[in-house]
Amino acid sequence: MTQFWLNGQARDIPDTPCLLLDYLRAQQLTGNKGPCREGDCGACQVLVCDDPQQQPASFRAQTACLLRLQDLAGQHVLTIEGLQQDGNGNKIAVPDRHLNLLQQLLADAGASQCGFCSPGLVIGCVNWLLNGPQLTLAEGENWLNGNLCRCTGYMGQRRALQQMTNTLGETLRRSRNRLQTLVDEGIVPGYILPDYILHRHSAHTLAVTPENTGNGESPTTATALPSGSAAHTHTGAPCMVIGGGTDLYLQQPLATLPAGNQLARSHDAVIRQSRTGLFLNARQPLQTIAAALAQKQLLPAFARFNQLFASLPIRNRATLGGNLAHASPVADSIPFLLVLNATLHTSQRVIPVQDFFTGFKQTALQAGEVIEWIQLPADTNNAIIHFDKVSRRGTTDIATVNCAGCWHVQQQTIVDVRLAMGGASPMPVRLSALEDALRGSDLEKLRAEDFKSRLPELFQQH
């Protein structure tokens, strides 16, 4: 039986596919709410560590309503209840309980009213304190934009974030192990530290599946499919290889999906540089890619694209490969990668991104084929790149329409330009007529001629 960790305890994963949210509530862990079941409201957020033995362990917020329990093998899940437990599933004795620093800051700022969204808000704050690079107020507001609240008007949360910045910001920015620092501050429990997990291994013999024996020390970790191969259920029916599942689990009931579906996991590098270009790991979460690019100061336009893509808990799960393979006409990654002239490296071949889409939600992928890497041309870093979208709820909603542009400019002359738009047709399209009109133009003259007045005519040519 495959297992995972839940609030410090090893748990068996049932054979029947189910969402983590439903499993938690069946276990009477009802702090996680499921009002939207679309990953939009943040009320079901949990912290997930994909490698509990890593030093230091890395916990990131994700939405339990879009997590399949079977995809969490070998991982550690921390719920709101787990923040006040002892690692054995027992609540801390009432006389010993008191408001920790985070709870006190939230209470003093009036950041909670009816309390329905409070568990998700607390998890979101812990995620920010653990992983936020700057720990500024603006960053906190951005990182918690997936936590909706109908009562407070958000000013209470804003005051609380400012107090967290003032009280904890400098200490955490200087810390080499934020998880340990938050344990020392009493904000998160010590049993989520890797040393505790390793100690538990000596006391438990954890069951493993026949097809993956692991190393005998931790709950079994699900493996990726070998390159070029397809998984099958016990009936011989083919299974899908999926990205993060944030699109698939939203649109299809789990009961209709093959039980053997596997995540396209990857332990390879997040990004790679070579003379032929910049390679992005299509199987890594978007937020992981964004962090790796920012650390190396590469492709700064990716930061804006990533921020507009979805709320942070979704970006902690969703992958570029999954977004491409889903092939929605308004998938944000498609126009962005179209204008970058990206090339897709699959488990079987190399495909230019412009040849990847064959129709409405149709792609050139063959059975068992997995998108592994996305290659960007070597001159990408020298281009002017912009991505934007129109949606009802800004950064946390699907696009009504999205667009991207990539300009190569020399001495105020547009040497080359690529423009793309999604949501205007069954597939995202390049705006070739507009590109032709812009190519070779002088930027100053374009401003003087009020080029915007010509746009309706050019768009009609599509």
pLDDT given at position 458: 60
pLDDT given at position 299: 96
Q: What is the mean pLDDT of residues 219-230?
A: 32
Are 413 and 441 spatial neighbours (Cβ–Cβ below 8 Å)? yes
Q: What are 440's two structure tokens?
A: 């070779």
Q: What is the mean pLDDT of residues 436-456?
A: 76
Measured N-to-C along each axis, helices 155-174 and 118-131 cross at an angle, to the nearest 10 degrees, of: 30
- CA-nearest of 88, 85, 82, 178 to 127 is 178
Provide the percentage of residues in the chain whose pLDDT is more than 70.
85
| Structure confidence at residue 213 as a pLDDT band (50, 70, 90) | very low
Distances (CA, A) of 37 to 29, 63, 114: 17, 9, 20
| Structure confidence at residue 462 as a pLDDT band (50, 70, 90) | low
| Least trusted range by pLDDT, from 139-143, 262-266, 326-330, 354-358 | 262-266
446 compared with 434, residue with greater pLDDT: 434
User: What is the per-residue pLDDT across 405-431, written as a single tens digit (0 to 9) for each?
Assistant: 999 999 989 999 999 999 989 999 999
Q: What are 136's two structure tokens?
A: 């500024």
User: What is the per-residue pLDDT across 22-58, written as a single tens digit (0 to 9) for each?
Assistant: 999 999 999 999 999 889 899 999 999 988 888 888 9
> What is the C-alpha to C-alpha distance for residues 462 and 434, in angstroms, rounded to an integer?
9
pLDDT given at position 361: 92
User: What is the per-residue pLDDT across 252-294, written as a single tens digit (0 to 9) for each?
Assistant: 677 677 666 677 766 789 999 999 999 999 999 999 999 999 9
245 compared with 454, residue with greater pLDDT: 245
With H, G, I as helix, E, B as strand and everything else as coil, classify residue 123.
helix
Tokens 């000013």 found at: 155
Q: What is the mean pLDDT of residues 58-81?
A: 94
Q: What is the mean pLDDT of residues 312-330?
A: 94
362: Cβ contacts below 8 Å, ≥ 6 apart: 327
Encode 290-343 in three state secondary structure: HHHHHHCCCCCHHHHHHHHHCCHHHHCCCEHHHHHHHCCCCCCHHHHHHHCCCE
320: Cβ contacts below 8 Å, ≥ 6 apart: 243, 280, 282, 284, 286, 289, 333, 337, 371, 374
pLDDT given at position 201: 59
> What is the C-alpha to C-alpha distance for residues 84 and 87, in angstroms, rounded to an integer?
9
The overall average pLDDT reported for the chain is 86
With H, G, I as helix, E, B as strand and everything else as coil, classify residue 94.
helix
- CA-nearest of 122, 92, 119 to 106 is 122
Residue 302 has pLDDT above 90, yes or no: yes
Residue 225 has pLDDT above 90, yes or no: no
| Structure confidence at residue 317 as a pLDDT band (50, 70, 90) | very high
Q: What are 417's two structure tokens?
A: 């330009």
Are 64 and 19 spatial neighbours (Cβ–Cβ below 8 Å)? yes
392: Cβ contacts below 8 Å, ≥ 6 apart: 400
